[in-house]
Amino acid sequence: MNTHEHYYQALISRDPRFDGAFFVGVSSTGVYCRPVCRVRTPKPENCHFYASAALAEAAGYRPCLRCRPELAPAHTWHDTRGQAIIAAIETVELAGHGVCDLTSVAKHLDLSTRHLNRLALDHLGVPLTRFLQTRRLLKAKKLLTETHLSITEIAFLCGFGSLRSLHHHFQKAYRLTPTAIRKSAQHKKPPTDNILSLMLSYRPPYDWHGLIQFLGNRTIAKVEHVHEGVYYRTVQVHYQSAIHQGWLAVKPHPTINNALNIDISERLSGALPLILYRLQHQFDLHADPMRIDQALGALAVPHQGVRLPGAFDGFEMAIRAILGQQITVKAAHTLAGRFAEAFGEKVDTPFENLSVLFPSPQTVASLSKDEIASLGIIGKRADTIITLAKAIAEGNLDLSPAAAPEMTIQSLVCLPGIGDWTAHYIAMRALHWPDAFPHKDLGIMKALNETHPKTLLATAEQWRPWRAYAVMHLWKRLENPL
């Protein structure tokens, strides 16, 4: 879409597939909305369309309190320059303090500050600091609306540093106070059983059954559990200089379309922004299925809305991948469960099947080869696990979605015991790289009836930059052969 008429027709349709793809500023009200907003459609001459919430706010519009722009799935860029911007944004997200230090972010990306700013303006239309400020404001608005955390706690969680700063920025951007935002919230029931319930949106179609089946087959006993279509897991994260432990549960929202319901133990309230960020990647909530399926063509026709299963914790997922080398999924499940129970910390939850926190890189790095091998894990694999843990613990390897995928794959294959398949599989899930392609995978070879790696790579060129989604479709083809 690139004309006012095209945007307006999409607005009239209220098609949820366009949610987050653009926003509409209404000049007669001074408010900007998602294209799925249920208010009466404004006149065409009063509509101004923007590619992001940041652009709408830069033009002077306030977020709609009804459709809540903070709920819209994020826009994604998949060209090389866009990836640099995504990495910069996610570097700040993962840092936990929310302050955009352009110099350190640019250094992390091996870019000059000037070049980073230029990339941001080219792709976002606003300076990176402005874009991130909008994200912080919308993040705070979400927590004000959906939780009963104190306004002071929300101010610090979202990186404002003080209650006064939060008030100042809300008044400046929205001409509303945080208290007014909270009073406008529709859901005012207090939390029960020390649980926080939040909502995360996605663009339909969404193959929840396929995704939860994939995750369920690869759970780590006592760390993760899938039951009756609900995903449960224990959580240990480091956020804002503190360690937070607890549990969470994810399921389709019972009353709202195109959304997931997230129940989080109140003990994790101090890390909510990071936890929500990780879940958005694990459950692939920012994907644009219409765009992806069009690019994959006939391959995507049998299964609409296939998602790329991410990982809540990159280290945990990488260990699970290493343990799964050259053995069945069931055998890998057994080994991963032993590993977690032997070296992980115990945690209290209300669920019988959740009682262990997966061990940290620091813990695993301190283990001996014999300790790991005693679980029935072969010695060479134990060496690989320890080497990987040390690389992460020492800050030499990043397995988060903010990492540069090609460079990370190169770093992984330099580690003993990690080959091209494992590296691409880790990139596909832990880094959530949509173009990862483990071309030596036997399932891919079988699905395409082709065993020559170079021929497989040549065939996959047509699916760039969505080759990882092609992998999911090819694996599904084996489950349900035509």
Question: Catalytic positions, please?
Answer: 441
Residue 310 contacts residue 432 (beta carbons within 8 Å): yes
Query: E strands of 333-422, at which residues?
Result: 345-346, 356-357
Residues 6+ apart with CB under 8 A from 54: 124, 125, 126, 130, 131, 133, 134, 135
Residue 49 contacts residue 24 (beta carbons within 8 Å): yes
Q: Distance between CA 93 and CA 56 in Å, rounded?
A: 21
Torsion on CA atoms 349, 350, 353, 354, rounded to nearest 10: -20
Within a 10 A sphere around the Cβ of 462, how many other Cβ atoms? 12
Q: Distance between CA 146 and CA 140 in Å, rounded?
A: 10
Q: Which residues pair with 195 in a beta bridge?
A: 265
Q: Distance between CA 402 and CA 477 in Å, rounded?
A: 31
* Residue-level length of the chain: 482
CA separation (Å) from 45 to 2, 26, 260?
17, 9, 35
Within a 10 A sphere around the Cβ of 181, how many other Cβ atoms? 20
Query: Number of H helices and number of E strands within the chain?
Result: 22, 11
Q: Distance between CA 290 and CA 302 in Å, rounded?
A: 14
Torsion on CA atoms 76, 82, 84, 87, rounded to nearest 10: -10
Instruction: List phi, psi (to 5°) of 286.
Output: -90, 0
Q: Which residues pair with 232 in a beta bridge?
A: 225, 249
Q: Distance between CA 78 and CA 171 in Å, rounded?
A: 35
Residue 424 contacts residue 440 (beta carbons within 8 Å): no
177: tokens are 């106070």
CA separation (Å) from 22 to 6, 19, 34?
12, 7, 7
